[in-house]
Amino acid sequence: MASTAPLHYHLTHCFSISQCKDKEVLLQHGWTARPPPRYSFSRNRENSINLTTSVSRPIKAFSVDIPSYPLLQPPKVEEESDSELEPADPDFYRIGYARSMRAYGIEFKEGPDGFGVYAAKDVEPLRRARVVMEIPIELMLNISKKLPWMFFPDIIPLGHPIFDIINSTDPETDWDLRLACLLLFAFDCEDNFWQLYSDFLPSADECPSLLLATEEDLLELQDENLASTMRKQQLRALEFWEKNWHSGAPLKIKRLARDPEKFIWAVSMAQSRCINMQIRVGALTQDTNMLIPYADMLNHSFEPNCFFHWRFKDRMLEVMINAGQQIRKGEEMTVNYMSGQKNDMFMQRYGFSSPVVICP
Ligand SMILES: C[S@@+](CC[C@H](N)C(=O)[O-])C[C@H]1O[C@@H](n2cnc3c(N)ncnc32)[C@H](O)[C@@H]1O
């Protein structure tokens, strides 16, 4: 086995994720890399973990005015959109031409729940939903939820050993391990967008996921069920890494996650940032586990003002403001991560618990 050190040693040992070769693309969008660790753990009486943040620095997306919609149209989301957005340039669809993300009237900045998305101007209630972000499929990392494994975009070359590793996962339970493998693979692909975007993901010491918690942190939860579930999850990720990142593994696998901390960090990214959607790509309709840059900066609320919509005609994820929603400049834009789930599930997967109790 490649690793014999105790799990908590691995998990408390920090690592830094891939270095950005060329930040120009993101900097053009007005982004700056994450500052050094922003969070400190503090626990309240209900034993939930609260995040406190020390920095508040606005990060502006390249934004244009939120388009206004005619008032007398029914509230609907249309596939064949008659959006006021300028029509897409047909050249965008040429093979090899990567489209970029577009954002309207929002900014990305730090708030009490880490990075979030905020209204850059007042949004008046309109009768139909409207777009604030469009993210093209080329920038995403998506895997079908069921066999046969399909990747959108299809970035894994035929015969690459990472495919065998993904293929060895349990189709029922291991979606997060598959997505973590794909994420690490993307970091290693020359000119892949995620090499740049990785600088905007929380590092291991910034991420409140309980997968990265030490034994001491788990004991502090004072919830033995949750602590024991998290220990099992940590072990599952560690054993998977040990099985596949052994000393005889090919270099192109080894370099993806040289230590278990990096792999477990990638699993925590998958768990806390994955969006599940049914998407249509060509003739295929697929339930999909998706890592969607920029959309993954939206924080959760049980009373969200935004939602996700898959735009089939040009394979874009749209983040849309609810019909009839008013949002004031500076207010946070949110989505509902998991409607109808227990608080425990939020703690397990996202590292926070919600003050709103939705299930007994
Ligand atoms: C999809 S990411 C959202 C972006 C994230 N805030 C960041 O800094 O990158 C999900 C993570 O954001 C934080 N988060 C989202 N909604 C939250 C909420 N309502 N309360 C506390 N933390 C939240 C949790 O750390 C969660 O694991």
Q: What is the pLDDT of residue 112?
A: 95
Q: What is the pLDDT of residue 83?
A: 55
The pLDDT tens digits of the residues spanning 89-126 come to 555 444 455 688 999 999 999 999 999 999 999 999 99
Ligand 1 neighbourhood includes 202 CB (under 6 angstroms): yes
Whether the predicted pLDDT of 127 surpasses 90: yes
Torsion on CA atoms 54, 342, 234, 215, rounded to nearest 10: 60
pLDDT band at 52 (very low <50, low <70, confident <90, very high): very low
- Rounded to the nearest angstrom, the gap between the alpha carbon of residue 288 and the centroid of all alpha carbons in its chain is 13
Ligand 1 neighbourhood includes 304 CB (under 6 angstroms): no
Q: What is the pLDDT of residue 8?
A: 34
Phi, psi for residue 141 in degrees, rounded to 5: -125, 110
The pLDDT tens digits of the residues spanning 231-247 come to 999 999 999 999 999 99
- Rounded to the nearest angstrom, the gap between the alpha carbon of residue 339 and the centroid of all alpha carbons in its chain is 17
User: 225 C-alpha to center of ligand 1: Å?
Assistant: 23
**d(C-alpha 281, C-alpha 297), whole Å:** 24
Flag the least confident range among 26-30, 39-43, 122-126, 133-137: 39-43
The pLDDT tens digits of the residues spanning 288-305 come to 999 999 999 999 999 999
Whether the predicted pLDDT of 25 surpasses 90: no
Q: What average pLDDT does this structure show over 72-88?
A: 47
User: 120 C-alpha to center of ligand 1: Å?
Assistant: 20
Whether the predicted pLDDT of 49 surpasses 60: no
User: 2 C-alpha to center of ligand 1: Å?
Assistant: 33
Protein residue with least CA distance to atom 26, ligand 1: 350
Q: What is the pLDDT of residue 74?
A: 34
CA angle 188, 189, 195 (to 5 degrees): 70
User: 104 C-alpha to center of ligand 1: Å?
Assistant: 21
User: 272 C-alpha to center of ligand 1: Å?
Assistant: 8
**d(C-alpha 232, C-alpha 228), whole Å:** 6
Q: What is the pLDDT of residue 85?
A: 56
**d(C-alpha 267, C-alpha 148), whole Å:** 21
**d(C-alpha 255, C-alpha 248), whole Å:** 12
Q: What is the pLDDT of residue 55?
A: 30
Q: Are strands 49-53 and 306-311 parallel, antiparallel or unpaired?
A: unpaired
Q: What is the pLDDT of residue 214?
A: 95
Flag the least confident range among 52-61, 115-124, 189-198, 293-302: 52-61
The pLDDT tens digits of the residues spanning 328-345 come to 999 999 999 987 767 778
Protein residue with least CA distance to atom 21, ligand 1: 113
Ligand 1 neighbourhood includes 350 CB (under 6 angstroms): yes
Protein residue with least CA distance to atom 23, ligand 1: 113
What ipTM describes this predicted complex? 0.99
**d(C-alpha 278, C-alpha 289), whole Å:** 9
- For residue 66, CA distances in Å to 27, 73, 123, 325, 327 come to 22, 17, 8, 13, 12
User: 114 C-alpha to center of ligand 1: Å?
Assistant: 6
Whether the predicted pLDDT of 253 surpasses 70: yes
Protein residue with least CA distance to atom 18, ligand 1: 300
